[in-house]
Amino acid sequence: MMKGIIINPRGCNASGKTTATREYIKKFPEAHLEQINGAWVTKCSDKVYVLGRYDKKNGGCDGYSGRDQVIQTIKAIIDGYSPSVIVYEGMLYSTSAKLAKDIDRMFRPKGYEYQGIYLYRKFSSIIRLLEARNGGADYNIASIYNTYRANENAFKAIEKAGLCIAKVDADWYPIEQMGEIIPLFIPLPD
């Protein structure tokens, strides 16, 4: 019997992962930071936990020490609190299909399935958003493109494994509506 879901908004630089998650958190007026198993977690309610901090400009799990800390934090939340929803996102983890598959394999026996939501943007949109975000500062376009392709390949792998709930064209969502993406696929728990 399924007890909950582990949601992973995925995507490349400027795809909207952090914005969608930050806007989702705003739906919970009592959301606050806690440390669980030595990691920062945003507790939205007794039923919803989001890995990482969102009280600063950059959010998510990219501040974690690696995939083991992501896994151990999810384990500690499930074992200690039995939530309905756990959300995690991070640029580093969007390029990995292996982590997604490992999380599903490890936690499905405990009643928690992994589901990715792939936030897609055209490469030209990514570049335009990065230029606006960086104020025209230089960046390595080849590196951004390689990350963009790695994200697409990881998405195809988790989709093939049946672990992707949706591919969302994030260009259709203005910032103030990005918070609707997660509950569109995962209703808010009572």
Whether 49 shows a pLDDT value over 90: the answer reads yes
Average pLDDT of 44-49? 96
Using a 10 angstrom Cβ sphere, with 0-12 exposed, 13-18 middle and 19 or more buried, the burial of residue 145 is middle
pLDDT, residue 99, reads: 95
pLDDT, residue 137, reads: 63
pLDDT, residue 91, reads: 84
Of all residues in the chain, what percent carry a pLDDT higher than 90? 68
Of all residues in the chain, what percent carry a pLDDT higher than 70? 95
Residues 82-100 have pLDDT tens digits of: 999 999 999 888 898 999 9
Average pLDDT of 35-39? 94
Q: Which residues of 88-110 are buried (b: 16+ CB within 10 A; e: fewer)?
A: bbbbbbbbbbebbeebbebbeee
Confidence tier at 117 by pLDDT (50, 70, 90):
very high
pLDDT, residue 138, reads: 66
Average pLDDT of 133-150? 82
End-to-end CA distance of the chain: 18
pTM of the model: 0.93
Whether 133 shows a pLDDT value over 80: the answer reads no
Question: What rounded mean pLDDT belongs to the chain?
Answer: 91
Structural element, H or E, at residue 64: none
pLDDT, residue 86, reads: 97
Whether 110 shows a pLDDT value over 90: the answer reads yes
